[in-house]
Copies of this chain bind each other. A is one copy, B any other.
Amino acid sequence: MSDVGPYTHRMALRFDPIAEARRQWDSHGWGATDAMAAVTSISRAHQIVIGRINDLLRPFDLTFSRYEALVLLSFSRTGALPLGKMGERLMVHPTSVTNTIDRLERDGLVARAPHPVDRRAVLATITDEGRAVTKLATDALVEAEFGVGELRTETLRDLEASLRKLRRDAGDFE
């Protein structure tokens, strides 16, 4: 088990493929090289990080998106939220929330309930089992520092700051 995980499905290259892409890109005179490299890096980083986290969550039969939904519910005052509000907070499309809640409900970690006032809305309510699994999964993730333990706190914060700008420009908040 010296391997970093299943998402690393081949030998390490002797060069950085993104640095190589940057070189080629420049030599073709294609422009916006920094943007290209940043975007490609984000893409690959996402793939790595999600892969690691899903590996950590597999023992609990969870994925990161389902885990995020559980955490959001466990943080809410009553353990219940309308699906629409969940979509806003999790920053995903409404249909993704439906999908996620379908699976969590099937697994007994969440239950759907009618909204007391608005009959269009549906409340997702976390179950006791849902809370228990969330606790265990959180312990595992924190223990493994979400798979990014090699990075220093400073690097993590730099990352978050740069990406916050991106998110704000995209209209996520403010």
Contacts and interface: CB of A to CB of B under 8 A. Distances in A.
Contact of A48 (B9, B34, B75, B166): B166
A45 interface: yes
A170 B34 contact: no
B151 A165 contact: yes
Interface stretch (A109-117, A118-126, A152-160): A152-160
A10 to B, nearest CB: 6
Contacts of A165: 150-151, 155
A108 interface: no
Query: Which of A13, A31, A34, A92 is packed against the most chain B CB atoms within 10 Å?
Result: A34
Contacts of A43: 46, 49-50, 64
Interface residues of A, number: 79
Contacts of A162: 151, 155, 158-159, 162
A73 to B, nearest CB: 12
Contact of A34 (B17, B37, B157): B157
Query: Which of A90, A94, A172 is packed against the most chain B CB atoms within 10 Å?
Result: A172
A141 B64 CA distance: 30
A156 B17 contact: no
A136 interface: no
Contacts of A12: 171-174
B156 A35 contact: yes
A37 B160 contact: yes
